[in-house]
Structure 1
C-alpha cells in the first residue's frame, strides 16, 4: 500500500487506518458523526494527498483539455478552477475532476485517487494534439481545510487576504513559511474552506502549523468516513458509486458541467447532446427516508408493489438531519420531486421520497 507523507501523524493521532484506492488512509479519528459536525460547525482537516494531479502544458494544452472535458475551459480566467468530467467515448464517465487554469498554456487536472492510472492512460491516449503531460501525483500533497472557521485558521499563516479568493478560484503564494503553495477556495463538503497543494517535503510542517493555528477553534483531523457523509448531504457525486463508465453526465444530473456551445468540441458531445434534447430513461435523484432505515449502496429501489425501478448508489444516516438519505438512479417516471419510492432492505420495503439536493441547506 502507498502512504501519504502524513501517514505517521495520522497513526499518532489515533486514526483508524484502512486501504483506500491503494493507499493506507484514515477512515476516522474521533468518530464519523463527531468529525462530520466538527466540519459543519467549526473546522476540520482532511489529508487528501492520495488524489491525482496531472499538469498539461504547452501551446496545445488548452485544445487537449477542452477536448477531454465536458465543461468549457474557454470561460476560465487565470486563477479560476472548474468542476468537470472526462466522457469516455461511449456516453459514460472516465472520472470527474477539477481543472485549474494555472497560467497561459498550463493547466492542472486533479483526479480521483482510485482512477489515477486509468485517467493518466486515458489522457495520454487522447493526446493527438501533442500537449506536454506530467503526472505529478506522487510528488504533491493535498490538504482540505473545511468548515466555517477554516478562513480564520488559515489567515494566521499567510499574507494573502483569503477573503479576496472567491469560491472556485486560487492563488499561488507563501503559506506557513513555504513558497509556492496553491491556496484554492474549493472543497467537497459544502461547508466552505480551502484546499492546499504543496510538495510532499513540506507536508508535516504545514500540517502541524495548521493544527497549531486552529487549536483555539477546536480543529480536528477528519477521515474518509466523514468526507463521504459530508459530500452526500450536499448531493455531490462519488465516482465508483454515483457515476462511472456506465453513467452519462446527463443521467447523473451533471448537465450543468456539460456545455454544448458551438466552440466547445469535446468527446461524446453529439451523443450527450441527443440525450439532453430527447431525455434519458433513468435519472440520478436524492431521496429521504420516511420510514426508519439507512439506505446502502446496491440496495434496490422499488415502487409500492415491489417492482424494481432503480438502485441506491450512495446512502447514509445524515448527521445533520438524523434520518436516512441516499442517492440512486430511478426510472424517469419516478424521478419527479415528491414521488414516493421504496428502498428494499432484505425482505422489507421502506418508504422514501424523492427530494432536491442538497439535503442540507447551509447558511
Structure 2
C-alpha cells in the first residue's frame, strides 16, 4: 500500500535516481550506477476490453459511443501483454523471491461482497463520453498530471467513502480510451483532492517520465494490472497482474518509472520486476476462476507495483466472484514463483513497447 511516508521516501529516491542515473531506464544498460548511490540497477528482470464493475455508476457509460474504436488497455505489443512464459530466469531470482516471502501465500485482494463495509478490491468507474471535468488538487503536484479530470462526484473509492487506506479512484473513459487514476482521493468542493494522479492514453506505449510516480508507487497504471471478472468469465486474461510486496530497494526496473525506497539490500526487488509462476506448478485442480488467474501468472506474470502485503494480487470487485474459488489461490506460495529477465523485450527507454 502507498502511504504518505512512502511517498516522501519516493521523492528522495527519485531525486537520487535523477542525479546518479540521469533518468535512464534501468533496463537500458546493464552497467547502471550501483544501488547505494540511488542509481537504477534494474534487476533485468489488457486486452479483452471488458466492462469493469462501474461501482458508483452502475450501468452508466459502460460502452464507447457508437462508431468509436474499441478501447484496449494499452496496445497489443505493450509490456503488460507480453508472454513471459519462456523468458530466462533472473540470476538473483532466488534471493528476491526469498526477500518477498518464499513461504508466504498468494492472496486475491479482490472478490464479491464487502469487507469492513466496502467492496473488496480496487473499483473502476466507467464514465460516458463528455463526462464533465472537475478540478483536482495534488499533494505531489510536481509528479502528477494536472487536472481537470472527468471524475464524477459519486466515483467509487477503494475502501469506500470513509475508507482510510490507499483510497484509489480509477476512472475509465472508454470513448476517449484514457484512464484517470488517483491515489488518496477525497471529494473537495466541486472537485477532488488527491495525493497523486496520472492520466494514461491507453492507445499509447509511452511510459511516464523517469522519476515520476502515478497513483501507484511504481509509476504504472493500476487499471492495466487489475484482474477483472469479465476477463475470467471469457476464460482468458491477456496481461500481467498487479502485485504488492513488503519491501523494495532504491531505483526501479522497467517498465516502472519510480522508486519508493531508500533501501540498498541487493536481495530486495525494485519496483517493476516481472514475477512468473513456475511452469512446473500444477493448476489442474484449481477451481475455474482461480485457475484462469493462475494461468495468467504463468503466461504473463506479475509486476511489482507497490508496497503492501506479500503476494497480494489486485483486482476489481464484482458480485459474481466466487470467493471460495479465489481463496484456492492461497495454495500457491512465494517459492512457486521466479523473477524473469525482461531486458530482451525492451525496444527503448521511455516506452512500454516490446519486441
TM-score (norm: length of structure 2): 0.28
* Greater fraction of residues in strand: 1
TM-score (norm: length of structure 1): 0.27
Specify the structure having the higher radius of gyration (Cα): 1
Could you say which structure has the greater relative contact order, defined with CA pairs below 8 angstroms and 6 or more residues apart? 2
